[in-house]
Copies of this chain bind each other. A is one copy, B any other.
Amino acid sequence: MKQINISDLAKALNVAKSTVSKALRDSHNISTKTKDRVKAMAMEMDYQPNPHASSLKNHKSNTIALIVPDTTNHFFSTAIKAVQLVGYERGYHVLAYSTLDDAEKEKSIFSLLKNGRVDGVIMSTVNDAGHIDHIKEFAGKGYPVIFFDRVCEDFDGVKIITNDLEIASDATEFLINKGCKRVAFLSVLKDFSIGNNRLKGYMNALEKNKIPLDESLILNGSMDYENNHKLIREMLTGTNPPDGVLAPVEKMAITCYFVCKELKINIPKQLKVVSYSNLEYASLLSPGLTTITQPAFEMGTIAATMMFNSFEKKKYRLKNETIVIPSVFTERDSTVEI
């Protein structure tokens, strides 16, 4: 397990270790000749600096934390990939955490990070907007925090979101224009900014089209799949079922598909469905699902780029700023007129 360190290098070269250190970091007051000698030897001896020593000395870990609710969600896994890629290119490492939508866990992850383990955090917070003291405290120590997708409204900093409200409105209007008289909204993140914006968009579209809001068409789903199933089933078998559905979350649309299969409700004939989704194979569902796709990769790329820029250049210091990246609407068979 013996690693080769800077002293070994220095000894081998018969110079001081500070010289080695400087040479390796291209200090301008080391002669080109020694630099070359040092670098050659470093190569030969397969030297890699000990990251803990540098981090300790420099108060800089060159790693960031990426905290998401669930890595298995395609939206998040895509964002993770993006962050990893730019991290790799720019010489940063990424510690990845899943909160599993557990606010307590999110909190405890933060406490693990708060003594220099990372230089900053990119995160999508858990579904519990109220309690962000741990995040504020962390940011208060000078660590940058960038939110994406699931942001905390009352946090001063960078928030990267998508045009949720507008596109939810557009999608609702799209359904209305396809002839839907009763468009339902399958809420699941009730008290959350994203859910709220999507719900707002939905309501805006109704208003714009002079359709009175029917509370019974807004389903209050949860993280409990079985319960959602039951609720959707009740809605679809009720006296006045919807003929269109906007799902702010992929899972709800999938659940809706399941229920329709059970009830032999034909999509899109009896019910048209639009869903927010990052499902890779939406077109292969039966029927192909009309989707609003959030720009996960772009969001991740921008978040990472902004963070690393802020580390490296003063002029990129992060400010209180909300960046909107448009989602992509893709029409498929689940909303076709028959």
Contact = CB atoms under 8 A, between A and B. Distances in A.
Nearest to A58: B52
Nearest to A3: B115
B50 A141 contact: no
A177 to B, nearest CB: 26
Contacts of A50: 56, 115-116
A51 B285 CA distance: 47
Interface string A26-53: 0000000000000000000010111111
A88 B81 contact: no
A101 to B, nearest CB: 13
Interface stretch (A72-80, A208-216, A227-235, A318-326): A72-80
Nearest to A254: B281
Nearest to A57: B52
Contact of A77 (B72, B85, B109): B72
A325 to B, nearest CB: 18
B3 A116 contact: yes
Contacts of A284: 254, 257-258, 285-286
Contact of A3 (B48, B109, B141): B141
A125 B257 CA distance: 37
Contacts of A258: 284
Nearest to A73: B77
Interface in A279-321: 279-281, 284-287
Contacts of A59: 1
Interface residues of A, number: 54
A114 interface: yes
A93 B111 CA distance: 13
Contacts of A115: 3, 48-51
Contact of A52 (B52, B72, B84, B111): B52
A204 interface: no
Contacts of A1: 59, 141-143
B112 A96 contact: no
A331 interface: no
A61 interface: yes
Contacts of A166: none
B93 A93 contact: no
A55 interface: yes
Contacts of A97: 84, 88
B52 A56 contact: yes
Contacts of A279: 281
29 contacts: A3-B114, A3-B115, A48-B112, A48-B114, A48-B115, A50-B56, A51-B52, A52-B52, A52-B55, A52-B61, A52-B117, A53-B56, A70-B81, A71-B80, A71-B81, A71-B84, A72-B77, A72-B78, A74-B77, A81-B98, A85-B98, A85-B100, A88-B109, A95-B95, A254-B284, A284-B286, A285-B285, A286-B286, A286-B287
Task: Identify the 5 closest CB pairs spanning chains A and B, nearest first.
Answer: A286-B286, A1-B142, A48-B115, A52-B55, A52-B56
